[in-house]
Each structure stands twice: as structure tokens, then as C-alpha cells.
């Protein structure tokens, strides 16, 4: 065991700080970039309905489970399993989370870097007068370049490292308490603007009116994968944050509130994007390009569009930053507690290793485009293998551990704060983590691996 002094662990200072940090982790590119295009490709309102059901029935219980493990153990994900299940291989679940953290941080920070390029382009008027073909070419030229994507990655990574270096309370909690309200304000302004565009109603109808005939096996599985990614569950981020939460915090309430904020932001992002997409006659199923190609096109046709473009890409960058810090914290907590490094040494080690992985990911269409693993470039490999394999597998093992291999009494004690809170939901929660969640997650996992097809 390491010589780390666990009495000196940092922690969150307030309930609001916990919500800001955890919601900051959940709300990110997943809500504003990924959710709208996945919804656009998978049936609009029908997808939203399935997504809602999954967040309530599986997302929230899995999030509660991670918080329970983290706060019970007061350790990083690897140390947590070592403490709760001594001399058993469960710590490998934590280790898998740390590996996933490295991979997610690499491709996610690369996309976050793109948002900086788009902020820069907005400021210099780079989109002005461009057709959608030209905007698409512009995106390709940027992505295949060998310097700019890497440069923006490095800048975004350093911002992430700077905050994490400040610690849990003075870095993460303090910064997210400022950034999260900012994000809400920008998003609401964007929604108001979008809703006042002519023809906005069609976009809203697409988002909110479920067409039940569009619900297929794929819709359900895409919704489940999106829920995992969006809520930041399945890789120990919330075990790590949970370990910094005070013993008096109501973990179930925290999980519900964080999930509701995450859901609300995804819906708001849809409200900001789809009316604009329809008002300008663009297909809602434009895929990943929706954010980086379609939106700049829309912005420049709007009055005051450049201001909105600037707001939008700042929004994306801020949302991404409150998420990247949570992923880096997983790595730093692991390094400090398991290897007994100082926070400074851990942040430096984490950042340097991320430079190698992340620069490779950000140059996946440029200098590193010849590097293919299983036929995928580095970015796509990291993106697919985390969302489709590591997160579902991690989530599955986390609920199986709590549901089948950890004393129920301890789980109940943790959720009820040793009996101080009523936990009337406990029977339902237990059924979900023992049966419903494992079965449902196993299905996504097998689908992600291509072992079953619907």
C-alpha cells in the first residue's frame, strides 16, 4: 500500500459545490455536441422519450452506486475497490476506469481544442460569406492540419491541468461554481434566439413529439450509450468525486439533481439547435458535423449571428472544461494516493502522458493518419472503445459489485447516512442494481462489440 496520508485528503466544501462539480462533469460536449446529433439521427422525440426512461431507470441508480462506493471508501477508484474488497480482483474495475480516463481525456480534449479554433475563427471572421461546402472544407483542412489541432489541444490541456492543480476545493469546486451559471445564461440566451426564428415550431415538434414507430432496438441502445457518456458514469469519475463528498450529503438527492441538470441541459441544447436547423432548412440528421459545420452556416445567416457563434463556442469550451477537469482528477487521485506522489508531481505526470496520447489523438486526421489500430485512427479508437466498451463494462461491474458482492447493509448505511435519512426507495434501487441495470447494460455492451444485432 502507498504511504499517502489519507487524513489529509481534500474535499468539497459545500453541497452547492458538490452539485456544481458533479453537474460540471456530466454536462459537456456530450450534451451540446453529441446529444443533438444522436437524437437527430435516431428519431427525434422518440429518442428523447427513451432517453428519459433510461436516465430515470438506469442512469440515476448507477450514479448513486458510484457515489456510494466513493464516499464509503474515501479513495480513488483503484484504492476504493482495494479497500472495500481486499485481496479480490475488483480493483481491476478501478484500474480500467483509470485507463478509460486517459483515453477519454485524449479524444475529448482534442474536440475541446476544436472549440477554441472555432472561437478564434469567429473572432477573425473566418466563416463570413462561406457556403456549407466551404465550411465543410474548412473543417477538413483544419482537422487534417499537423499543427493547429495539436496546439489547441495543448492549450486546453494546460487549462485543465491548471485547475486540477488548484485542488478539489480551491480548483475544481471554485471554478465550476463560476462556470456552470455562466453556461446556463449563455444556453438560455441561445434558446430564446432560436425560438424566435421564423419556423422554429417545426424544430420544437421534431424534438418534443415522439413518433413511436421510430423506436427500434438501435434507438434504445444508442440512448443507453448516450446516457452513460452524458452522465459521466462507468469509469470511476463519480467514485472519485463521491470520495470528496461530506458524510452528511444525501447521495440519492445528489444523483437525482445532477442527472436532472444534465438532462435539462441536453434538452436546452436541443431547443437551441433544432429550431435553428429547421428554420434554415438543414437536415436534423447531419451527424457529427452538426456542431462544427452546420451551425457556423446557420450563424452567419442570422442577424447578430457572429455574437451567437461566439457565445455558442464559448459555451462548448466552458462545458468541456468542467468535464475534462473531472477526468484528469481521476488520474491525479490515482497517482497521488496509489503512487504517493504530490499533487504537483501527479498533475505534471498526468499532463505529460496526456500530451503524448492527446496530441496523437488530435493529429488523427493529420500527421498520425497512417496510424491505424483495428482499422481505426487513434481518435476513433479511443472514442469508440471507451463509449462502447469500457464505460458499459465499468458500469456493469460497478452495479454487479454493489448488488451481489458487497453487503447490502453497508450500501443502505451509506445511502441513509447511517440511518439518519429515510431510504424508502431502497428495495427498488436494489432490484435495479441486481437485475435491471446489469441486463440492460450487458445488452448495450454486446451490441457495442457487435456480438448482437437488433
Q: Given the rule CB under 6 A, which residues bind ligand PFF?
A: 25-26, 28-31, 104, 229-230, 232, 235, 237, 323, 326-327
Q: Where do the H-state alpha helices sit in 124-233? A: 132-144, 148-165, 174-195, 200-208, 217-231
Residue 107 or 278: the one with the smaller Cβ distance to ligand PFF is: 107
Q: Report the nearest approach of ligand PFF to the CB of residue 84 (Å).
A: 20
Q: Report the nearest approach of ligand PFF to the CB of residue 200 (Å).
A: 25
**Grid coordinates standing for 390?**
469500457
Residue 365's DSSP bridge partners are: none
Residue 26 or 290: the one with the smaller Cβ distance to ligand PFF is: 26
Q: Report the nearest approach of ligand PFF to the CB of residue 222 (Å).
A: 14
Residue 135 or 266: the one with the smaller Cβ distance to ligand PFF is: 266
Q: Report the nearest approach of ligand PFF to the CB of residue 452 (Å).
A: 24
Q: Report the nearest approach of ligand PFF to the CB of residue 339 (Å).
A: 21
Q: Report the nearest approach of ligand PFF to the CB of residue 33 (Å).
A: 8
Find, among 69, 91, 87, 88, the residue nearest to 78 by Cα: 91
* Longest alpha-carbon distance in the chain: 64
Q: Report the nearest approach of ligand PFF to the CB of residue 417 (Å).
A: 26
Residue 232 or 291: the one with the smaller Cβ distance to ligand PFF is: 232
Q: Report the nearest approach of ligand PFF to the CB of residue 30 (Å).
A: 2
Residue 104 or 190: the one with the smaller Cβ distance to ligand PFF is: 104
Cβ(51)–Cβ(224) below 8 Å: no
Q: Report the nearest approach of ligand PFF to the CB of residue 433 (Å).
A: 20
Find, among 251, 266, 244, the residue nearest to 52 by Cα: 266
Instruction: Please name the residues in contact with 7: beta carbons below 8 A apart, sequence gap of 6 or more.
Output: none
Q: C-alpha distances in angstroms, 143 versus 37, 109, 113, 173?
A: 19, 14, 11, 33
Neighbours of 314 (CB within 10 A): 18
Q: How far is it, in rounded angstroms, from Cα 92 to Cα 71?
A: 19
Q: How far is it, in rounded angstroms, from Cα 391 to Cα 317?
A: 23
Q: Report the nearest approach of ligand PFF to the CB of residue 366 (Å).
A: 24
Residue 29 or 363: the one with the smaller Cβ distance to ligand PFF is: 29
Residue 26 or 154: the one with the smaller Cβ distance to ligand PFF is: 26
Q: Report the nearest approach of ligand PFF to the CB of residue 394 (Å).
A: 10
Q: What is the DSSP letter of 34?
A: I
Find, among 332, 327, 415, the residue nearest to 21 by Cα: 327
List phi, psi (to 5°) of 342.
-70, 165
Tell me if residue 365 falls in helix, strand or coil.
Answer: coil
Residue 152 or 229: the one with the smaller Cβ distance to ligand PFF is: 229
Instruction: Please name the residues in contact with 170: beta carbons below 8 A apart, sequence gap of 6 or more.
Output: none
Q: C-alpha distances in angstroms, 279 versus 97, 203, 448?
A: 42, 8, 35
Residue 95 or 421: the one with the smaller Cβ distance to ligand PFF is: 95
Tell me the residue nearest to ligand PFF as measured from the CB. 30
> If you search the block for the grid coordinates 454486446, which residue do you land on?
446
Residue 30 or 94: the one with the smaller Cβ distance to ligand PFF is: 30
Residue 297 or 448: the one with the smaller Cβ distance to ligand PFF is: 448
Helices 343-362 and 91-123 meet at what angle, rounded to 10? 60
Instruction: Please name the residues in contact with 218: beta carbons below 8 A apart, sequence gap of 6 or more.
Output: 42, 454
Amino acid at each position: 500500500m502507498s504511504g499517502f496520508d489519507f487524513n489529509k485528503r481534500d474535499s468539497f466544501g459545500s453541497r452547492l459545490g458538490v452539485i456544481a462539480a458533479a453537474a460540471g462533469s456530466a454536462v459537456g460536449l456530450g450534451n451540446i455536441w453529441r446529444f443533438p446529433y444522436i437524437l437527430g439521427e435516431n428519431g427525434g422525440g422518440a429518442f428523447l422519450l427513451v432517453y428519459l426512461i433510461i436516465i430515470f431507470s438506469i442512469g440515476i441508480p448507477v450514479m448513486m452506486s458510484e457515489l456510494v462506493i466513493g464516499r464509503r471508501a474515501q479513495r480513488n477508484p483503484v484504492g476504493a475497490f482495494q479497500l472495500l474488497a481486499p485481496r479480490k480482483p475488483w480493483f481491476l474495475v478501478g484500474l480500467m476506469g483509470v485507463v478509460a480516463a486517459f483515453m477519454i481525456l485524449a479524444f475529448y480534449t482534442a474536440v475541446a481544442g476544436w472549440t477554441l479554433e472555432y472561437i478564434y475563427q469567429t473572432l477573425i471572421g473566418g466563416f463570413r460569406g462561406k457556403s456549407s461546402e466551404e465550411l465543410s472544407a474548412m473543417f477538413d483542412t483544419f482537422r487534417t492540419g499537423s499543427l493547429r489541432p495539436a496546439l489547441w489541444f495543448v492549450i486546453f490541456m494546460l487549462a485543465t491541468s491548471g485547475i486540477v492543480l488548484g485542488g478539489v476545493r480551491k480548483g475544481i469546486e471554485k471554478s465550476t461554481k463560476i462556470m456552470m451559471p455562466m453556461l446556463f445564461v449563455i444556453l438560455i440566451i441561445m434558446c430564446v434566439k432560436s425560438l424566435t426564428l421564423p419556423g422554429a415550431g417545426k424544430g420544437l415538434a421534431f424534438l418534443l413529439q415522439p413518433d413511436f414507430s421510430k423506436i427500434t432496438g438501435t434507438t434504445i441502445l444508442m440512448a443507453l450509450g448516450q446516457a452513460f457518456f452524458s452522465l459521466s458514469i462507468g469509469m470511476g469519475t463519480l467514485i472519485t468525486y463521491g470520495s470528496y463528498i461530506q458524510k452528511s450529503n444525501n447521495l440519492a438527492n445528489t444523483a437525482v439533481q445532477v442527472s436532472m441538470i444534465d438532462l435539462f441541459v441536453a434538452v436546452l441544447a436541443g431547443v437551441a439547435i433544432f429550431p435553428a436547423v429547421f428554420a434554415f432548412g438543414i437536415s436534423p440528421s447531419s451527424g457529427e458535423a452538426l456542431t462544427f459545420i452546420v451551425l457556423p452556416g446557420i450563424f452567419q445567416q442570422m442577424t447578430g449571428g457572429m455574437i451567437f457563434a461566439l457565445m455558442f463556442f464559448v459555451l462548448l469550451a466552458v462545458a468541456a472544461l468542467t468535464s475534462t477537469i473531472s477526468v484528469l482528477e481521476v488520474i491525479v487521485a490515482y497517482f497521488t494516493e496509489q503512487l504517493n506522489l504530490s499533487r504537483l508531481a501527479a498533475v505534471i505526470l498526468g499532463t505529460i502522458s496526456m500530451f503524448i496520447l492527446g496530441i496523437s489523438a488530435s493529429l488523427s486526421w493529420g500527421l498520425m493518419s497512417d496510424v491505424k489500430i483495428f482499422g481505426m485512427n487513434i481518435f476513433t479508437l479511443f472514442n469508440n472503445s471507451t463509449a462502447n466498451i469500457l464505460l458499459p463494462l465499468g458500469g456493469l461491474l460497478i452495479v454487479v459489485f454493489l448488488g451481489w458482492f458487497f453487503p447490502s447493509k453497508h450500501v443502505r448505511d451509506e445511502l441513509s447516512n447511517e440511518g439518519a435519512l429515510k431510504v424508502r426507495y431502497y428495495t427498488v434501487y436494489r432490484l435495479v442494481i441486481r437485475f435491471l441495470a446489469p441486463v440492460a447494460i450487458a445488452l448495450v455492451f454486446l451490441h457495442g462489440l457487435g456480438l448482437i444485432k437488433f
